[in-house]
Structure 1
């Protein structure tokens, strides 16, 4: 079977790329080693949530996917507080400073994936079939699937995650390291309402975030070097330690869903492209979750890639050529590296054991709070503006 473009990986970024390509008039197909996602079930807790920026939301609106999410299970947040030792001295960010209705919105992975999946052309979906072999060249790509099917395309886009098998097949190396932390995720109920405010506290063991959900609960992401001990606690002990860690900003934490965890590491591909081949999303870069920017970076990859491919096609140029794909790499690599550096630096800044450093660090945070132009710039950056 021949297609213009094949995208491997049916996560959020992969589905979004295929949606955008099909909307732009490409014959674009999606290959996924697993099965199609199940219809979204609001009765089932999804512990994997994303903090979508206004820029990402606008792009999803253009794809027709956000309309299936908005006003249902999304958790828009208008404000954010960030601190280390004393919440009364926190940096605060407010959507009103940018004249926006919200700084972003917290959305469950399964809801957004299902919304995107509904926008895809079902005749161009290949599920339950891993890529077993790959051949790349100046004229295109050939894929052999585990079920015996063979696909040909002018361009293959790998959006198959941080452990990308296709990236390895293409011979692209990565650089990175482990943080020695695990992120604990759960949905919790608090005694006081979250008031659509996101919280982030930096502890010596790692950052803790409370993200407001649309149903009144909070999603927590607790990145910690003590994760194994915290996971071993019973619910009552865990809730008590969690409330103390966030310094009771929402009062007591009264209930929790099941808990899950995953290891944290930084990863960045040395190259994003080869002849007839491009990486996007986590296959190209994986950042610390403390700033909630991972999926937003992936959607920015997707928007840039599709825009460059459509422009090349409309100008009569070869959109699968290395020369064209290098434009995409240049457009995204520097910004992604900047975000990796910022998140890595922040993750380490609160773990330095240097005399006088905590006081100096807190003075820096207070300076940002007082300098409104700088704070506005940081807020616009986080919002993808």
Structure 2
């Protein structure tokens, strides 16, 4: 669990940051904080500039193009990567996302989901999570808990291509610059709609806007220019990803996650023959896994999925008693444990790894500036919530801004910006805390901790209302 000092710091930052009204008070001595070189070439003025054209930034641009009110805004999307031609390959990409129901609803409203379905996705209708240090497990089934599937596994590049396709077909008010290298920002120091943000490019071009939206990822330059406090730490872990070929063909609509002492291993379905791996482990071990010959890597993975790790006799006794007690009081002890698939081999050259870290911006807004996605928050991938939080930001920001403009407010008015910040932090921060606590809880192998988490998992699995509440929050 979090140390007391870290917990106190995190809670203090949360209390300071969750507000329903107001933005930071700054000196009126100057209108602009200059963070860059003087303007060299003025290229254009926009109502909104979105810095960052990843999945979240492009979705926001698409939402603005689709909204009947926001479509009147002049918007510039700046994407640092070149505009690459997309071609759907036979082999799956090793980077995938697990999209929840709210994200599906958003994408459907933007006509993006229909494009994804025409390419490929895989529904998750059952999920099993189990502890390698005990017999404790929990399962979620779409037939038991939800009216629809638990989640959907989609490749990052497929989703981004679908968003870009829809954006291209409805972007009358959207301009896009690819391979955009941003040198710096000049941001307003106070709430003044007449003072605009300046975005200076590496080639000397400069753009201005009333509203600057930072969708530029965890190392956000927009966030740094805002000067807001950012709470972050590294996990000294990496997520090893690969595309797996199953030993036997099956329906394959189950997501598997096993907690081993070094971290969780997730097996996410892609189709009847293939799954995607996300193996969170210590950095040294991750580098070793990447260097192994492919057959040895598969052996290591199967061993991690099936290996019997050392167990405490006390934990075994208590969990066995808990199972019996749940049955005596008439509570189901959960569905029967299912066995994960065996892995035959991996798609050649599909292995990669990325660092894992936590991040929380204490403020999502400043005068004329808003943060969304990883620029505002970053979480461990163990719950698959990272990009869903970002898409939730898009939905709430679009609604807040559209309502504000309908009411006659300026696009940088503090009322709607504060509403957006408050709404999102009240959802994102509890999710971040929950994920952080799970990570801390399951990377400790002390007997009392293993006992507490095992019994807690057993009881949660037996309480259908609690499981529904968990899934409802995860789906939002």
Q: TM-score, normalised by structure 1?
A: 0.95
Measured against aligned partners, the alpha-carbon deviations of 1:270-321 in whole angstroms (never above 9, x if no partner) come to 2111111000000001100000000000000011111101111110011213
Show the 5 A alignment for 1:1-385: 1-24=44-67, 25=71, 26-70=73-117, 72-85=119-132, 89-120=136-167, 121=171, 124-137=175-188, 138-139=192-193, 140-192=196-248, 193=250, 195-214=252-271, 216-225=273-282, 226-247=285-306, 249-257=339-347, 258-384=350-476
Q: Is the 8 A contact 2:51 2:78 kept in 1?
A: yes
| SS across alignment from 2:408 | coil
Answer yes or no: is the 8 Å Cα contact 1:208–1:222 preserved in 2.
yes
2:166 is paired with a residue whose SS is coil
Aligned-pair CA distance for 1:80: 0.2
Evaluate the alpha carbon distance shift between residue 319 and residue 152 of structure 1 in structure 2; reply closer, same or farther with a 3 A threshold: same
Count the aligned residue pairs.
Answer: 384
Aligned alpha-carbon RMSD (Å): 1.8
Deviations 1:111-137 (A, max 9, x none): 111111112228611112222232222
Q: CA deviation at 1:40?
A: 3.6
> Contact (CA 8 Å) 2:252, 2:271: kept in 1 or not?
no
Task: For residues 354-382 of structure 1, give each alpha carbon's deviation from its aligned partner in whole angstroms, at most 9, with x where no partner exists.
Answer: 33321221111110111111111112222
- Is the CA contact (8 Å cut-off) linking 1:40 and 1:111 kept in structure 2? no
Would the aligned equivalents of 1:73 and 1:215 in 2 still touch at CA under 8 Å? no
Structure (1 or 2) with the larger CA radius of gyration? 2
109-118 vs 38-47, greater mean Cα deviation? 38-47
Alpha-carbon distance between aligned partners in 1 of 2:137 and 2:118, rounded to the nearest angstrom: 30
Measured in 1, the distance between the counterparts of 2:293 and 2:247 equals: 19
Query: CA separation in 2, counterparts of 1:329 and 1:82?
Result: 33
Give the structure-2-normalised TM-score: 0.77
Please list every run of 5 or more consecutive structure 2 residues that lacks an aligned counterpart in the other structure. Answer: 1-43, 308-338
Larger deviation, residues 21-30 vs 365-374: 21-30
Given that 2:153 and 2:270 are in contact with CA atoms closer than 8 Å, whether structure 1 keeps it comes out as yes
* Residue pair 1:200, 1:207 contacting (<8 A) in 2 also: yes
Indicate if the aligned counterparts of 2:252 and 2:272 stay in contact, CA closer than 8 A. Answer: no
Structure 1: tracts of 5 or more residues without a match? none
Please tell me whether the aligned partners of residues 122 and 253 of structure 2 are also in contact (alpha carbons under 8 angstroms).
yes
2:236 is paired with a residue of what secondary structure?
Answer: strand
Q: Which moved more, 1:360-369 or 1:34-43?
A: 34-43
